[in-house]
Structure 1
Amino acid sequence: MKEEIQTILDKIYLSLKTHDYYQPSLLDGEAGYCLFDQFYISYTGIDAVNHADNVEDFENNLQTLSEDSIGCPSPFFSSGKAGVNWFFSYLKAKDVLDEENWEILCDDDPELFEQAILYLKDGNYDFLHGSIGIAYHSLYAQTNQYTTFQETFFQLLYKLAYQSPDKMFIAHFDLTNLVPVPNKINLGMAHGLISVLKFCLQCYQKNICSVAAKKLALDIADLFRSTINRNTNNSLFPNILMLDEPAKGYSRVGWCYGDLSIGFVLYQAGVVFEDTALKDLGTEILIHTSKRRSEEQTMVRDAGICHGSAGIAHVYNKMWHYTKNPVFKEACDFWIQQTLDFSIHPDGYAGFKSYSPDASGKYTNSYGLLNGISGIGLVLLSYLTGDFSWDYCIMLND
């Protein structure tokens, strides 16, 4: 399988070298492509054919991204400047960018953080298109200069979660109408409660409001405990939970929604808080989810990270590295092979296309990190190397 993966990686790299320019964003634009580019060049090493030319191409692309991201109208992590600035911080951590250039490229961080506060006050805690994604970017850099913002942000998040004296509740934020929806809880990673739990873990590890961060994290974990439906061979959790109603509904297997990310973050919470019961719960959920393989059970129709096979493979790859449980190794290998098998489209980038049920023809080409070949390539590189350093940007970091 390694040779097949290497062939696909080379095809992805060549496809990206000839692509038309995308918008300056991380999860669906140029920064995601540059992230794969940097990782691939590092993996192939200085002995690779055309290494010097590849490095020069990367530097030129990085320069273009740096220039085009100036004045980026969107502040968000997925589609805007917060994600691009995280990528610059990632390059600084990799010693690709020096301190001076990093400070210049990210000099608009204070404005982004001001916007995050405003979005949170409106109830928009969304990871991809709201305040938590912007704030999560701030927690990555090895600096204390953002502590005041981070503490203020978390205090507002805590207040949002405990508006009722009786229970913790964070209302789903409707991104279409830009309003919170009373009595409705989104449980997913992309737009929902499990991303809040992950944010709490990051705050706790960075010593930002650590006591309150632990309380909120454990209360969210308790909500998941009380919601789980063990009387099923399919999903244990729905996408959406209605307050004071029995949990009902079905969720896919994927990064964006469903049991996979829920189980993974609950396991991580158990590690962070040294809570064996939480680790066991996360493990139970992920073992259960590993048995769902058919398209009908998983709703997997492409190879992308968001709702496809690569995202599933990556989570199980990390769980294998954490636990050495052979169930996770087998599940990882299965979904890696499924990812390779999705490279079947003659007109697709490296043979891949993204499933878009609202699009004409349903399958579309995508270079992006979240839905396209940049992300698929990063997952395959992690599978070969055991290097997961890039996956902070999808909230799967340690």
Structure 2
Amino acid sequence: MTNSSKIKSIEKSLYLNKENISLVGLNDGIIGYSLFYYYHYLLTNEEESYNKMVLFLENALEKLNEKYESYKVKIEIIEIGKYLLFLIEKGLIEKSHIENHLEVLDEVILDYLYEKINERDLDSAVGLLFAASYFLERNTEKTPKIIEEIVNLIEQTKFEDTYGIYWQFKLRNAKSPKVELGLGHGVAGVITFLLQLIKCGFEKNRAESLAIKALDFLISKKREKGINLFTINAFENETLDYNNLSYGDIGIGYTLFKAGEILLNKKYKELGLEILKNAAKYKDDNQTFIKDANIIYGSSGLFSVFNFLYTKTGIEIFNESKKYWLNKTLEFGEKDKEMKWAGYQTYFNSTYDFAQLGFSQGISGIGTALISNQIENDTDFLTFFNYN
């Protein structure tokens, strides 16, 4: 099946199964539908797609009331807030039209942020820095004070050795935190946040000093060869035999590349490209580790990030990797002969409809990735996964 026909199949399946989505957030819920239809509108320029984008956004906001229950409601609220800011930036909605909604979200997200400050949780995917990134984008009169407090915490919680500075992360085990290196739950995530502060002009001097020392530590952990050049945890030997959008070297390589651009440092940029080129060599013909097409763990995330890197750099190995993982994504779409989910079948959490339909693990994300390949390589949806 071609890229275009698969997009049509996904759109049909999403709309037929829209009642099966009960969560409101982006990764697993209704806002993920809205984001898909934003991209579908870019592809087709059809008023119907635009109306569906707005409809699902309104549905999510209406559902988010005092009666709404979810095991991760505060995370979903941050996702909604970041999506609204995304639509404002894209010129799809006027800030003045939704300012009241944003102010309500601000209060909840601020409570969550201070909760995570008290827990000293610097996780970028579900912790303090996830909430902080919302206020950085929101940029209200409260933002400078919030950012100052967060940078204070980053300074207070750092550890130091002869190479540089690092932090411990509690996601896996609160009683025995680890020094993870990755983008989502590790040192690279803290560096990425600091780089965003530098770019936006908040706490610039302190952020730059911390970022450089953390980059020195990160670089000290690089190995000479392997599918991944970095271990999962800084002071342990375990490494991964695969790459995806969430785990492995891609997030680390991109962090170094981004540091080179923002800090105007050729060494960081070249080292980042070296790591990313090595990651681009990874293939999985036998589906040993890449078992489906989803964005965060599967092939569509891989083809999207290499598409983005090729567009940005023009380096051919990124184009080759993009084509490989795009083909895998289309092949995965032939797995389910019943075609309930447009031929796709997510591997993790496959018993749940939200996983099959959602943005991070399901077909709304896969469809968005496929669309991005057809509209001048617009991969801005990757910003929701910290690839800014």
Q: 1:359 and 1:334, CA in 2 relative to 1: closer, same or farther beyond 3 A?
A: closer
User: Are 1:96 and 2:88 counterparts?
Assistant: no
8 Å Cα contact 1:304-1:375 kept in structure 2? yes
Match of 1:9 among 1, 7, 21: 7
Q: CA deviation at 1:88?
A: 1.2
TM-score, structure 2 as length reference: 0.89
8 Å Cα contact 2:78-2:134 kept in structure 1? yes
Match of 2:152 among 151, 155, 180: 155
* Helix, strand or coil at the partner of 1:185: coil
Measured in 1, the distance between the counterparts of 2:75 and 2:347 equals 19
Q: Show CA shifts across 1:225-270 (max 9, x none).
A: 11111143x221122223xx5x443352011111111111211111
Task: Map 1:241-260; keep pairs closer than 5 Å.
Answer: 241-242=234-235, 247-260=237-250
- AA matched with 1:259: D
Match of 1:334 among 292, 300, 324: 324
| Aligned equivalent of 1:240 | 233
- AA matched with 1:389: D
> What is the aligned-residue identity percentage?
24
8 Å Cα contact 2:294-2:366 kept in structure 1? yes
Q: 1:315 and 1:371, CA in 2 relative to 1: closer, same or farther beyond 3 A?
A: same
5+ residue gaps, structure 1? 46-50
8 Å Cα contact 2:82-2:134 kept in structure 1? yes
User: Are 1:349 and 2:345 counterparts?
Assistant: no
Provide the aligned length of Structure 1 versus Structure 2.
Answer: 381
- AA matched with 1:103: E
Q: Show CA shifts across 1:249-303 (max 9, x none).
A: 3352011111111111211111111111111111111111111212579721111
User: Are 1:389 and 2:380 counterparts?
Assistant: yes
Q: CA deviation at 1:181?
A: 2.8
| Aligned equivalent of 1:69 | 64
Is the helix fraction higher in 1 or 2? Answer: 2
Q: CA deviation at 1:79?
A: 4.1
Measured in 2, the distance between the counterparts of 1:329 and 1:222 equals 30
TM-score, structure 1 as length reference: 0.87
Measured in 2, the distance between the counterparts of 1:249 and 1:165 equals 23
8 Å Cα contact 1:238-1:250 kept in structure 2? yes
Match of 1:216 among 210, 217, 221: 210
User: Are 1:146 and 2:140 counterparts?
Assistant: no
8 Å Cα contact 1:174-1:180 kept in structure 2? no
5+ residue gaps, structure 2? none
8 Å Cα contact 2:260-2:267 kept in structure 1? yes
Q: CA deviation at 1:173?
A: 1.0
8 Å Cα contact 1:235-1:259 kept in structure 2? yes
Task: Map 1:30-69; keep pairs closer than 5 Å.
Answer: 30-45=30-45, 51-69=46-64
| Aligned equivalent of 1:324 | 314
Q: 1:52 and 1:225, CA in 2 relative to 1: closer, same or farther beyond 3 A?
A: closer
Q: Show CA shifts across 1:363-391 (max 9, x none).
A: 99511111111221222222222223332
Q: CA deviation at 1:306?
A: 0.8
